[in-house]
Amino acid sequence: MSAITVNKKVCLLGDFAVGKTSLVRRFVYDRFEDKYLSTIGVKVSRKTVVAPAAGRVIDLAMILWDLAGSEEVDKYRESYMRGAAGAVLVCDLSRPETFDHLPVYVDEFLVVNPQSQIILAANKSDLTEALRLAPNQIESYAGSLSIPYFLTSAKTGDMVEQLFRQLGRLLLAGDLAT
């Protein structure tokens, strides 16, 4: 039985340097870079996960849009977001302001893609000495949007696979519903 392949576009959204590129790099290539290289524009990567859905095995090809977090993109971001089925919101646990900005991205994304799935990654959980956001803050914000959240570390890989797999399940479940 050959699997059915489904393509889904997923955007990574969040302020600069929160770890969007690093999360994709960890998930797709299982690598990590300490050096910060600001993304400009967009880098698209593809990763296929195999997921069971409605009694079939489905190859879900996630087309990951790693968007730049800097202001320059603000004017294109909306067009970049078009046609996305899901988004990973990313904030940095050591920089509270990156958490405060999340609603801006959510609002923008939902205007373009009202039927999409969103998941929250509170990243850099390995920086135990420098954490400035409490897990219950993250939890209550995720709760208010009814979206799942994960405390991730692109550096150690903690919860990164779980994050993307959970989003994958949501994307397929959303498909079956329609």
Partner 1 sequence: MDDSVIQMIWQRRDIAYAVTDLELIVKEVNGPQGLICGEESKCVGRSLYEICPELVGFEEILEGVLKGKQDSIKLDFVNREGAAGETRYLAMEEVPRRDSSGRITGIVHLVQDITVRGELQQQITQSRNQLMLLQEQIERQNLELTAANTELRRLDELKSQFISVAAHELRTPLTSIMGFVEMLLDKQVGTLTEKQREYLEIVQQNGLRLLDLTNGLLEATRLEAGRTELVLKPEDLVALVKTVVSQFQSELSKRQQSLFEAYSPGLALVLCDKARVIQIVTNLMSNASKYTPAGGHLSVEVKPAKEAGYIQLTVADTGVGIQEDDQAKLFSRWFRTKEAAALNSMGSGLGLYITRALVELHGGKIWLESQPNLGSKFHVTFPLAM
Chain contacts with Mg ion (rule: CB under 5 A): 20-21, 39
How many binding residues for ligand GTP (CB under 6 A)?
22
- For residues 69 to 88, the per-residue mask of contacts with partner 1, x marking binding by CB under 8 A and - elsewhere, is -x-x---x--xx-xxxx---
CB 159 within 8 A of CB 150: yes
* 127 lies in the site for ligand GTP, by CB under 6 A: yes
Crossing angle (nearest 10°) for helices 160-177 and 20-29? 90
Q: Tokens representing 84?
A: 């996305």
Q: Taking the complex as a whole, how short is the minimal distance between the CB of residue 156 and partner 1, in angstroms? A: 21
Q: Taking the complex as a whole, how short is the minimal distance between the CB of residue 163 and partner 1, in angstroms? A: 20
Pairing verdict, β 86-92 and 117-123 = parallel
* 56 lies in the site for partner 1, by CB under 8 A: no
Query: Which residue number, 131 or 139, has a Cβ lying nearer to partner 1?
Result: 131
Q: Which 57-76 positions form the footprint of ligand GTP (CB under 6 A)?
A: 68-70
3-class DSSP assignment, residue 74: helix
Give the count of beta carbons closer than 10 Å to the beta carbon of residue 24: 25
Q: Which 140-169 positions form the footprint of ligand GTP (CB under 6 A)?
A: 153-155
Residue 95: name its binding partner from Mg ion, partner 1, ligand GTP, none (Cβ under 5 to 8 Å by kind): partner 1
Could you give the dihedral angle defined by the CA atoms of residues 142, 144, 147 and 148, in that order, rounded to the nearest 10 degrees? 40
Buried b (16+ CB within 10 A) or exposed e, 64-88: bbbbbbeeebeeebeebbeebbbbb
* 29 lies in the site for partner 1, by CB under 8 A: no
* 39 lies in the site for ligand GTP, by CB under 6 A: yes
28, 32, 42, 53: which one binds partner 1 (CB under 8 A): 42
Query: Which residue number, 43 or 139, has a Cβ lying nearer to partner 1?
Result: 43
Nearest to 20, CA basis, from 92, 106, 126: 92
Interacting residues of 74 by C-beta distance below 8 A, sequence separation 6+:
none
By CB under 6 A, name the binding residues for ligand GTP. Answer: 16-22, 33-34, 36, 38-39, 68-70, 123-124, 126-127, 153-155
